[in-house]
Amino acid sequence: MSTAGKWIVGIAVAFAGMGFLVLAMSIFMLATAVTTTGSDTYEENFGGSSTNRVALIEIDSPIFNAEDVIRQLRKYRKRSSVKAIVLRLDSPGGGVVPSHEIYREVQRTRKFGKPVVVSMGSVAASGAYYIACAASYVVSNPGSITGSIGVISEFADYSDLMEKIGVETTTIKSGEYKDTGSPTRPMRPDEKLQLQKTIDDMYAQFVDVVARGRSLDRDSVRVLADGRIFTGTQAYRHGLVDTLGTLQTAITVAGTLGKIQGEPRIVREQEQPAALDFLLGTETRKNIQGIGTRLQNSSPLQYRLPY
């Protein structure tokens, strides 16, 4: 291919990528605007006694934004009719910061006097497990996938591809490490060392959270904190969860901790159908919102499964 042809291909690829990002962000903003406008975006499903309720909050996607979960935690811990909260985790983890922010809000909720019980779904790993360590009690299904205690950071290297199509970049920077992780060149050994130090610091924070939350010594946690995953049964044997059971088990435990007499009644928010749901379908709309959230809140350092 001629040099001119390579340039054309390179420019076409660049514009296609930019076009995709702009389209995804545009649809994301539209979806967000449509689904969050108005005071009736959510309704609550009440049943039974008005004074003996357990609130159910769900985290069922990668954790890239903490605002909605924090809002619900703050709302329910102020309600005298809500005696305890069940946090249903079905997530592979996500960003370091939102995971920590939810973790801290769970701690504040417990200090407020509201027990928080975690119920693990299919996956409650890495950042989701980080959050679980703040709970009053952790219930895992025997088949749940949890653990994955650690930090991951991934960087792409497009330099060979750019060389093949004849595209070059010029970087002007203020310091030696300002462009660390740039996809336009291979990473130097000293840059990898600097990033490893950052990863190690965040890893140490994760180990401390698990040790405190699960009343384990740090050395024992480090043996388990090599990124491996555990089934719920394995996690129970290692002391990473309190008991094995289902969501209903967690609700029962929450009722006991909240001193509720009889069977607890559940309150939770239910998302109302959005206009885009009728055009795209609910799952498609949520997937688009998820892409937009990742683009807006992406971080090179994450507590999450690598897939």
- Exactly one of 164, 173, 178, 192 is catalytic; which is it? 178
CA 285 – CA 278 distance, rounded (Å): 10
CA 23 – CA 139 distance, rounded (Å): 41
CA 259 – CA 154 distance, rounded (Å): 46
Known active-site residue 298: no
- Exactly one of 91, 99, 119, 126 is catalytic; which is it? 126
Buried b (16+ CB within 10 A) or exposed e, 268-282: bbeeeebebbeebee
Task: Name the token pair of 150.
Answer: 């650690």
> For residues 144 and 132, is the Cβ–Cβ distance under 8 A?
no
Q: What are phi and psi of 290, to 5 degrees?
A: -65, -40
Q: Count Cα neighbours of 226 within 13 Å in the Cβ-side half-sphere.
A: 4
CA 97 – CA 264 distance, rounded (Å): 33
- C-alpha closest to that of 290 among 62, 92, 48, 5: 62
Task: Name the token pair of 271.
Answer: 């998302």
- C-alpha closest to that of 82 among 124, 105, 113: 113
Known active-site residue 78: no
> For residues 149 and 221, is the Cβ–Cβ distance under 8 A?
yes
Just list the catalytic residues: 126, 178
